[in-house]
A and B are shown apart, each in its own frame.
Chain A
Amino acid sequence: MIDMKQIRENVSNKIKTQQKDEPVKMNIMDNKANKEVSSVAAIGETIRIKGDVTGTENLIIHGHVEGNVNLKGHNVTIGKKGNVEANIEANNIVVEGKLKGDMNGDEKVVIKQSGNVHGNIVSPRVTLEDGALFKGSIEMEPRQIEPVKKPTEQKAKTSESKPDRIRA
């Protein structure tokens, strides 16, 4: 026999608990979101990918990737056993394994002692550890230089500041 009263009570209790839980749930989601931002995805040693890899999190490659890796704003690490035949675009790129392809690092590219790279690098900062193998070109991007103030701006500023000086 179905006790409707009991069911109603159960449902209302459940709703109350859900309402109570809601902020908690949000917190969990927030944590999850935060985790996603700082988390690192990994391609295991036995994994072989043929195609393009894109995403919005950091990546460590221990396996074999053939194609393009585009993780703009995030970091890519090729582990010691990683073997990549791809062009890589990322914020920071660290190579401990083997790479045949070009690298575009918005911030920095590091080739570790165990790294073996055949390709071209474009990055404002490149570090190559002694013992690393590299064949290709390295293009250091121009450092960000403070824009030269236009003469008109300078004039305007001087004319603004002059009265202050007079007042002082």
Chain B
Amino acid sequence: MALISQKPIEGNFYEYKSPLLFETLARINQAEFYHLLDIGSANSSSIEFLNDYQCKIHICHCIDDLLNLTLEDLNTPNKLNRAFVKALGLYKNHNNKIGIIMLWDLPNYLQPEILQGLIKFLMQHIHDKAIIHTYIHTTRLMPAIPGNYAIEKSGKVAMQNNLDSSTDCPAYYQEELHKHMSPFRVRRSVLQANGIQEYLLSIN
């Protein structure tokens, strides 16, 4: 396990409404959405928010591990699969079918092939009705590293502002997401004022 320092969300953060995320979270009480997967790090306000629901959240705390994966090292599907198992902690005997996957802004930062591999890996552990929630940057530049996000009881999402350094943004459009996140398809999307497009994807 590679645990990295988890910075608290304080100081440079801003809050914004995330209608599709809250719409997704409103389904938690339904049996098929009982299991949530948070690809990011645990934070106090998200846990506080989920305390009011009957659910099970799997916190992977693996963004850095995933960002460090390279196709040069993982040149076979087996190697890639093993790397995902290690990073996400989802083993074959993990019988819980995940209903909601919160990828946050990770797809912007992964190599497309790694993203495809990740989705393929997740397919082994999800419910038929599973929903992926993600933020896609649409501007020319995006923060150099993925953000820290916190779900707040006020109905907003707090995002740590990592704008000190920036990097080129792939600015995926819908068809590219279909390609990289197949068999998931975009069901709804909302463009935020901050240039982040919020997406909900599902299989059926």
Contact = CB atoms under 8 A, between A and B. Distances in A.
A81 interface: no
B53 A127 contact: no
Given A134-B59, A136-B59, A128 B47 contact: yes
B56 A139 contact: yes
A137 B61 CA distance: 11
A30 interface: no
A129 B59 CA distance: 15
B75 to A, nearest CB: 27
A140 interface: yes
Nearest to B42: A134
Interface in A103-138: 116, 118, 125-138
Nearest to B29: A142
A9 interface: no
B48 interface: yes
A141 interface: yes
Interface residues of B, number: 26
Interface string B18-61: 00000000000000000000000111100110110111111111
Contact of A130 (B8, B59, B61, B89): B8
A133 B6 contact: yes
A140 B50 contact: yes
B42 A128 contact: yes
Nearest to A122: B56
Contact of A136 (B44, B55, B89): B89
A127 B47 contact: yes
Contacts of A140: 50-51, 53-56
Interface in A137-160: 137-143
Contacts of B193: none
Contacts of B62: 135
B56 A130 contact: no
Given A130-B8, A132-B6, A137 B59 contact: yes
Interface of B: 1, 3, 6-10, 41-44, 47-48, 50-51, 53-62, 89
Given A138-B47, A140-B56, 6 more contacts: A130-B8, A135-B59, A136-B59, A138-B56, A140-B53, A141-B54
Q: Which 7 pairs between the two chains have the least Cβ-Cβ distance?
A: A130-B8, A139-B56, A134-B42, A135-B61, A137-B58, A142-B54, A128-B47
